[in-house]
Structure 1
């Protein structure tokens, strides 16, 4: 066996393993979101995650990957590589094409899952399926081409190692557009605009989901080296850990001193915010910078949550605060703290300006295309569940079953559940 063959084999093993770690994050999304919503909508959360994985994988294979990584067309979109066919010889990667596709597929599934949480408990399931197709086929792949596929933003020199901008900020602003269009859950805000408390159904479940996401993030960031022999892997893993810890610690102490209690949902989302914040710069910043980036990410997540509440925008799991607010900060932080070109490391303002320009383009793309896409989808199916479906719960309304048969919601709607099953049997 030659040295090149051995290197290819090692790199392939590394990337497949990290892709599997990223795919496990979907289990994290499922548990996190199911724990944050009410019992009567838990199965719907799980079904949306399975839709992300199944539909997203097929759409990205057939069309999305080609638009993202195909031969560049005007710096805007790829034009080859659909169903992994055609000319892809321009890709400079230390692994095989199929292995590279698998890793990138895990990323696209994560993007659509961000939007899923923002519209939890009230989106029409059929409308969500159509949007999942739109996101994984067009919205994310085209934006990804701009940064990672040789498009116009990458040519300017923007740095986004593992996706604070192209995954999290894009997904977060797409989530914001969807949440605004669909509107808040019934009873979420009073006539005076005051937010009512919607208690999570299972915080231990949500915390396990967060830990799975944290675990998968090491694959997310370190796996983006695409090489098992890359000397940066250890550093990437350390700054990822430090930033997540700083984000969680910042929200823990903030809520402890602000509200005289450490708020569990905030600490969970604070740790995730720290992970989002370091994703762009994990290969470019030092450890002290990583701690600062993570802490600020956690505090910005809290500020963005309050911003949404003040504007009566309902985001049940904090998708926009965690992913958009922290993603923006993390991307800009590269321009500030990058050891090569950052403002505070003697590099001047050029990189920060490029980071800002790229962010504006990606956030606007995610928001506008989601808004237009949902408008078109609304012509085919209603975007929102009916009042009765929302009241009964999306589990029974769309899937004919509940997650926990001893839950109060199940007991309350037991007769309705029986009627649904009877109608299904008759049809």
Structure 2
């Protein structure tokens, strides 16, 4: 009996080091530990969303480009990590110029970020955990931008734009809205987990890319009519949505950055309601308008609901989360038709799912945010319905216009320079044979491609 007790205590000491090394750990230390565990798990969920982006982009495009999509995603996430560590995090959250007026526009200090090995006195979680969480968001925004490059951009374009986007575009928007010294933050802009910071920023960059790259071969006819270029695997698309949906709980609920009173559970609750509303509304509207319930539209609706609820999940009542998701599902259906009509080739619907829904989600706070939750988070005030005031809605409009405008101008300038200096698009021959072979010398589906070649 004594032997079993000793073994049990030894196991507990290994599982819970605090019991082994501290007789009476403080409440603050225990709280910091719980916060660290939750936020790191949330960061891992967000990083795993890259698997969803691989399946989404490859499933929505043709088989001859699948290997390229998978490989460039892993490569750009790696490069994004190095750039964000070198300068991106400093521009977003650096505090060396906190007393200067320039701090409202950009952070400074902490380049080649070298964190302390443990949390300091009074910190709610280690800066290492916060860095990884913020890095995961930067990588998601970058992956959204790749929607405008799909099936026609050079690998070298991915390399250069990763550096520029991660250093000069995303951190600036992040600083404006999420840094305590950012000018939009101080005005009370509400974007809890990034409908604007992450999704709209990535979508606007995608728009600039797809305009400068021009449509894929065969996408539009000379008379302006569109040809549908079907993705090669709809099951990949559905699985990608499920992976992204699960990862979104890290995205939104993780943004609480603490365990605290369990508020992150309320955020997760609203996230699920928004996603559900988007999926249901998208299928129903496609069924009503087209006479058939379109699967791709349904998948896009779920993602649009998630994008829209990203800004609002911590500020609104549950009924409003459902409404926000329902509107996003309808919006994404008509938005895709609009972009097709103006001859913008958007293979993975990034402009509709992340752009249109991102704008709607950000503006929705100005309508549905409650004053109680705004005060709880100490960001802005309640929206039009709760307070009868237009103030928060005008702040949200300003946030969308300024952030979207900066991203649009910066993306067009940087990509325009790249187009002149190095070119953005592969040759017609390379596009026809596929980027797997032309950029990497191999196939993502070697057996199927060999059969296709033998039958030619």
Query: What's the CA shift for 1:35?
Result: 0.5
TM-score under structure 2 length normalisation: 0.88
Inter-partner Cα distance in structure 2 for 1:320 and 1:90? 42
Deviates more, 1:315-324 or 1:76-85: 76-85
Query: What's the CA shift for 1:85?
Result: 4.5
Q: Residue 171 in 1 paired to residue 212 in 2?
A: no
TM-score under structure 1 length normalisation: 0.94
Note the residue ranges of structure 1 that are not aligned, 5 or more in a row. Answer: 417-427
Which residue pairs with 1:419 in the alignment?
Answer: none
Which residue pairs with 2:104 in the alignment?
Answer: 75
Q: Residue 211 in 1 paired to residue 242 in 2?
A: yes
Q: State which of 344, 355, 364 in structure 2 corresponds to 1:324.
A: 355
Q: Residue 199 in 1 paired to residue 223 in 2?
A: no
Conserved 8 A contact 2:328-2:357: yes
Query: What's the CA shift for 1:347?
Result: 4.6
Instruction: List per-residue Cα deviations over 1:92-117 (Å, max 9, x = no partner).
Output: 96211111001000000000000112
Inter-partner Cα distance in structure 1 for 2:122 and 2:177? 15
Query: What's the CA shift for 1:90?
Result: 13
Which residue pairs with 1:51 in the alignment?
Answer: 75
Query: What's the CA shift for 1:387?
Result: 0.2
Instruction: List per-residue Cα deviations over 1:139-184 (Å, max 9, x = no partner).
Output: 0001111111121111111011000011111111111111111100
Query: 1:93 and 1:153, CA in 2 relative to 1: closer, same or farther beyond 3 A?
Result: farther
Q: Residue 351 in 1 paired to residue 392 in 2?
A: yes
Inter-partner Cα distance in structure 2 for 1:396 and 1:256? 39
Which residue pairs with 2:431 in the alignment?
Answer: 390
Q: Residue 108 in 1 paired to residue 138 in 2?
A: yes
Inter-partner Cα distance in structure 2 for 1:348 and 1:159? 15
Instruction: List per-residue Cα deviations over 1:299-342 (Å, max 9, x = no partner).
Output: 11112111111111100000000001000000000010001111
- Which structure has the larger Rg? 2
Inter-partner Cα distance in structure 2 for 1:92 and 1:282? 28
Q: Residue 334 in 1 paired to residue 365 in 2?
A: yes
Query: What's the CA shift for 1:44?
Result: 1.4
Inter-partner Cα distance in structure 1 for 2:454 and 2:162? 32
Deviates more, 1:213-222 or 1:367-376: 367-376
Q: State which of 131, 136, 141 in structure 1 corresponds to 2:161.
A: 131
Alignment RMSD (CA, Å) = 1.9
Instruction: List per-residue Cα deviations over 1:242-275 (Å, max 9, x = no partner).
Output: 1111101011111112112111111101100000
Query: What's the CA shift for 1:91?
Result: 13
Provide the aligned length of Structure 1 versus Structure 2: 414
Query: 1:190 and 1:287, CA in 2 relative to 1: closer, same or farther beyond 3 A?
Result: same
Query: What's the CA shift for 1:379?
Result: 3.3
- Runs of 4+ in structure 1 over 6 Å off: 89-92
Conserved 8 A contact 1:29-1:113: yes
Q: State which of 303, 326, 349 in structure 2 corresponds to 1:295.
A: 326
Query: 1:97 and 1:86, CA in 2 relative to 1: closer, same or farther beyond 3 A?
Result: closer
Conserved 8 A contact 1:164-1:328: yes
Query: 1:276 and 1:410, CA in 2 relative to 1: closer, same or farther beyond 3 A?
Result: farther
Q: State which of 256, 259, 266 in structure 1 corresponds to 2:297.
A: 266
Note the residue ranges of structure 2 that are not aligned, 5 or more in a row. Answer: 1-24, 372-381
Conserved 8 A contact 2:52-2:244: yes
Q: Residue 185 in 1 paired to residue 226 in 2?
A: no
Query: 1:93 and 1:120, CA in 2 relative to 1: closer, same or farther beyond 3 A?
Result: farther
